[in-house]
Amino acid sequence: MKKIKVLIIDDSQLIQELLTTIFSSDNRLKVVGCANDPHEARQMIKDLNPDVLTLDVEMPRMNGITFLKNVMRLRPMPVVMISTLTSEGSQITMQALETGAIDFVEKPVHLNKILEEYKHTIISKVMTAASVPKSKLLRFQNRLTAEEKAKIKPIDIQRAMAINIPSQPSNKIIAIGGSTGGLEALRAMLSNTRFTGCESIVVALHLPGSFTASYARRLNEYLPVTVKEAEEGERILPGHVYIAPGGKHLKIKRRAVGYQCKLEESDPVNRHRPSVDVLFESVAEQAKADALGILLTGMGKDGAVGLLKILQMGGHTYAQDEESSVVWGMPGSAVAIDAVATDNVKDLNKLASVIPVFAKQ
C-alpha span between 294 and 164 (Å, rounded): 24
Q: What are phi and psi of 131, to 5 degrees?
A: -85, -10
Residue type present at position 216: A
C-alpha span between 266 and 332 (Å, rounded): 27
Which of 83, 90, 170, 179 is labelled catalytic? 179
> In degrees to the nearest 10, what's the CA dihedral of 244, 248, 249, 250?
-40
C-alpha span between 252 and 48 (Å, rounded): 50
**Residue 302 is among the residues annotated as catalytic for this protein:** yes
C-alpha span between 256 and 22 (Å, rounded): 51
C-alpha span between 200 and 360 (Å, rounded): 11
> In degrees to the nearest 10, what's the CA dihedral of 172, 177, 183, 186?
-40
Which of 210, 302, 321, 324 is labelled catalytic? 302
Which of 51, 206, 325, 333 is labelled catalytic? 206
Alpha helices per DSSP H over 133-208: 134-137, 146-162, 182-191
**Residue 206 is among the residues annotated as catalytic for this protein:** yes
Catalytic residues: 179, 206, 302
